[in-house]
Structure 1
Amino acid sequence: MTAEVPARNAALSLRRGLRLLEHVADRTRGGAASVSLTELAAELGTAKSTVLRLTAPMLETDLLRRTPEAGFTLGLGALLLGQSYLEGIDLRAAAAPFLRRTAEATGLTCHLVVPDGTDIVYVDKVETRGTVRMGSRIGNRLPMRNTASGKAIVAFGEPELLTQVLAVPAVAMTDQTITDDDRWRQEVERTRARGYGIDDRENEPGIRCVAAPVLDHANQVVGAMSISGLASRFPAAAVRELGEGVVRTALEVSVALGSSSAGLALARTASSGGVR
């Protein structure tokens, strides 16, 4: 029994320390440059001596650091912990529940792709019982130029990617494929403006697709998610509604990956009742 008392005390101190660390994080996220000893004691309802005791090991491990104004702010150790967590998030695992939900809600095929040079590579695919089977397979590679996902990645990716894609000769997969460089550049601009790319029977005859970019914790484009189906089941009149839905879902995936800009965009979407 006597050995349990120190253990309980240690657990209590750990909980208090974690609460203090979270409080400093909340305050700095809210715009505070640092939080003073007096503020921490008052806001946490504890003595200054307790705050000093709890912060001592955090200062030693650089989870917290002292500022010139004698306040506390997050240290490099906290950043490294967060970075390690974010780097451990797997894109495919993070996106999987969102792809399943979308496939079930729309009855269309959902894809997750990643960029590789000027191509896209399928890394996940979800179909439901009522979905018309698509010929795409995980591991398949397609030119960005012929796909809605490629347009979304180019529209929101690094500027030089557009030049790289246009440097690759266009191959007409159908009579709808956009092979003219100027027209394709304009389509990328429209994709950027509305938030999602459209493949209107350009890659496969009779198949329509919309796609939106997925961002990581550094707010960089790491992929795209799309929904595809027969044009007869995915009419042109439904493109806007389904496209905006894909944008919202791609933002949710991006938030799961730690994207701050996606979080802000999703909050604006919720408050305005729309995507834009």
Structure 2
Amino acid sequence: MKNRPAYAIASVDSALLLASLLQHEGAMRVTDVAGRLGVSVSTAHRLLGMLVYRDFAEQLPDRRYAAGPVLRRGPVQQASVATLREVALPHLRRLVDAVGETANVMVLAGSDIRFVATVESAQVLRVGDRAGRTLPAHRTSGGKAVLATMADDEVAAVLTALDGTVLAHVLRELRTARRRGFAVNDQGTEAGLTAVGVAVPPAGGFAGAALSLAAPTARYSRDRLPVWRAALTEAAADIARDLDAV
């Protein structure tokens, strides 16, 4: 579990989040950056200027900004994460309206899961925005849901950092998730947080995505699982349909 530092530096946090967005969502205009980070256009321009200076970003001929040489490493996702975010957001909002808890869309990135978008519940006590965060896939509900779509040997190849005992436990969890059609994170990433996740069927050239509903553990109940599973499964199928139509 990662806690926000007690003396967080807002500008550093914004710059790091921006670098992550450029790397995983693609090129953005200054106004897009300002909207995503919740800052002024002038602040967004200064942040981009520093990232360009340090080669974390570069300006394209059309004046958008994209990930720079430092961030252009590793395989490129088959389809744009920005497209997934755009397609998923309306469905996340409907999930929140239907269930009353925070909804997320995320993608598998190696052995981690990266949160692409969050729509928060309107309740006072709620799980907050996770967009831009990265967590170990085997600890999150969405990560486990995606891993459960893979064969055991494929999972072992992804989770190479885990020792044999931990991997065996994870594989047992994944077998349960395959049988149920969903995965649960019961305070595995954060005390007081419980989440349920399903994989988004591969569509539109995009694979490895998942949806989750997250709630304070104090409000979570097993009795809610059938409703959550049905809502998540329907939303995942709708997102896959819309990805195919893009």
TM-score by length of 2: 0.60
Residue aligning to 1:105: 98
Query: Structure 2 matches for 1:78-93, cutoff 5 A?
Result: 90-93=83-86
How many residue pairs get aligned? The number is: 166
CA displacement at 1:219 relative to structure 2: 7.2
Aligned pair 1:208/2:201, yes or no? no
In 1: Cα distance, 2:95 partner to 2:159 partner? 32
SS in 1 for 2:244: coil
CA displacement at 1:87 relative to structure 2: 5.8
Aligned pair 1:189/2:175, yes or no? yes
Amino acid at match of 1:115: L
Residues 243-273 of structure 1 show CA distances to partners (whole Å, capped at 9, x for unaligned) of 23211211111111129xxxxxxxxxxxxxx
Higher-Rg structure is 1
Identity within the alignment, %: 27
In 2: Cα distance, 1:159 partner to 1:136 partner? 32
8 Å CA contact retained: 2:211, 2:232: yes
Gaps of 5+ in 1: 1-85, 171-178, 260-276
In 2: Cα distance, 1:158 partner to 1:95 partner? 26
8 Å CA contact retained: 1:208, 1:228: yes
In 2: Cα distance, 1:221 partner to 1:233 partner? 32
SS in 2 for 1:156: coil
Between Structure 1 and Structure 2, the one with more helix by share is 1
CA displacement at 1:166 relative to structure 2: 3.6
Moved beyond 3 Å, runs of 4+: 86-89, 157-161
8 Å CA contact retained: 1:118, 1:164: no
8 Å CA contact retained: 1:210, 1:226: yes
8 Å CA contact retained: 1:144, 1:165: no
Residue aligning to 2:149: 156
Query: Structure 2 matches for 1:166-185, cutoff 5 A?
Result: 166-169=159-162, 180-185=166-171
Query: Structure 2 matches for 1:52-63, cutoff 5 A?
Result: none
Structure 1 pair 149/161, CA: closer, same or farther in 2 (3 Å)?
farther
Please point out which of 194, 197, 210 is paired with 1:224.
210
8 Å CA contact retained: 2:105, 2:118: yes
Residues 75-99 of structure 1 show CA distances to partners (whole Å, capped at 9, x for unaligned) of xxxxxxxxxxx96881111111000
Q: Which has the higher contact order (CA 8 A, sep 6+)?
A: 2
Residue aligning to 2:51: none
Residue aligning to 2:20: none
Query: Structure 2 matches for 1:1-276, cutoff 5 A?
Result: 90-130=83-123, 132-157=125-150, 160-169=153-162, 180-217=166-203, 221-258=207-244
SS in 1 for 2:97: helix
TM-score by length of 1: 0.54
- Over the aligned positions, Cα root-mean-square deviation in angstroms equals 2.6
In 1: Cα distance, 2:126 partner to 2:215 partner? 9
8 Å CA contact retained: 1:216, 1:258: no
Gaps of 5+ in 2: 1-77
SS in 2 for 1:180: helix
Residues 194-213 of structure 1 show CA distances to partners (whole Å, capped at 9, x for unaligned) of 21111122111121111111
CA displacement at 1:159 relative to structure 2: 5.6
Residue aligning to 2:10: none
8 Å CA contact retained: 1:145, 1:165: no
SS in 1 for 2:218: coil
SS in 2 for 1:113: strand
Structure 1 pair 210/219, CA: closer, same or farther in 2 (3 Å)?
farther
CA displacement at 1:234 relative to structure 2: 1.6
SS in 1 for 2:237: helix
SS in 2 for 1:232: helix
